[in-house]
Amino acid sequence: MNKIYPKVPIPLNYKNTFTLLVSVLLSAQCTDVNVNNVTKKIYPKYNRPEHFVKLGRKKIERLIKKIGIFRIKAKSIFYMSKSIVENYNGRVPRTYEELEQLPGVGHKTASVVMSQGFGYPAFPVDTHIHRLAQRWGLTNGKNVIQTEKDLKKIFPKKNWNKLHLQIIWYGREFCKARDCYGISCKICKSCYPSRKKPIKTKKA
């Protein structure tokens, strides 16, 4: 991984920790490219929780309507922004507990913000990392929570932030859901040289 991706770009574009939080929330069931295309028109003008509270739900919906399940996401962004303004003086909270209490913010979103926003060692696991970890024999977890625990046990804490991004990029480039099936890419072949049948991964 370090040979292929010595420097790892962050897939989502953002201006500050708050816009990172918004982008991660928008990226659920949506590609990072689509999120970046939509937010590049939003963030120059609206990039603080106060801005989104002032906009209101309907205007947020109009701004993000090209993104999947935009009404649900607009509602989450509005109430999340409201909560940050009212409870944290407009600043994104810096703990898992506080982040996960915000509307629309789950553990994976909180992990990304802790990792990429605050530099705290975290190993955010989405369905893609979950699938790859299963293919590579790093976990037999049936959900992302178990997979995260298993990966944290295997890899040193100092590598978590970089490695989770490396796995994302590697999966997109070499170990795609429909291209590799656990039998084509270098990692799959080196982990399981005798594997002949495509591996089916358990849903996260």
- At residue 97, the 3 state secondary structure works out as helix
What domain range includes position 151?
127-191
Q: Is residue 58 part of a domain?
A: yes
Note whether 21 and 70 are same-domain residues.
Answer: yes
CATH number reported for the structural domain that contains residue 131 in this entry: 1.10.1670.10
Q: Is residue 48 part of a domain?
A: yes
| Annotation marks residue 41 as catalytic | no
CA distances, 43 to each of 52, 64, 78, 195 (Å) = 11, 12, 15, 47
Note whether 53 and 76 are same-domain residues.
Answer: yes
Confidence of residue 158 (pLDDT cuts 50, 70, 90): very high
Note whether 112 and 74 are same-domain residues.
Answer: yes
Residue in the block written with tokens 């949506």? 30
What is residue 200's predicted lDDT score, i.e. its pLDDT? 81
What is residue 204's predicted lDDT score, i.e. its pLDDT? 67
Note whether 176 and 96 are same-domain residues.
Answer: no
Note whether 22 and 101 are same-domain residues.
Answer: yes
Q: Is residue 96 part of a domain?
A: yes
Note whether 133 and 99 are same-domain residues.
Answer: no
Q: Does residue 193 have a pLDDT over 90? A: yes
Task: Summarize the confidence of residues 38-50 as an average pLDDT.
Answer: 98
Task: Write down which residue in 89, 117, 145 finishes a domain.
Answer: 117
Note whether 142 and 96 are same-domain residues.
Answer: no
Q: Quote the number of domains for the chain.
A: 2
**Stated length of the chain:** 204
User: pLDDT tens digits for 127-151?
Assistant: 889 999 999 999 998 899 999 999 9
Q: Is residue 12 part of a domain?
A: no
| Annotation marks residue 126 as catalytic | yes
Question: Which one of 126, 149, 162, 179 is the catalytic residue?
Answer: 126
Question: Which one of 32, 66, 82, 108 is the catalytic residue?
Answer: 108
Note whether 133 and 80 are same-domain residues.
Answer: no
User: pLDDT tens digits for 48-75?
Assistant: 999 999 999 999 999 999 998 999 999 9
CATH number reported for the structural domain that contains residue 111 in this entry: 1.10.340.30
CA distances, 118 to each of 13, 42, 101 (Å) = 16, 23, 18
- Which ranges of the chain does DSSP label H, i.e. alpha helix? 17-26, 32-39, 49-63, 70-88, 96-101, 107-112, 127-135, 144-154, 160-173, 186-191
Report field, pTM of the whole predicted structure over 0.85: yes
Note whether 144 and 89 are same-domain residues.
Answer: no
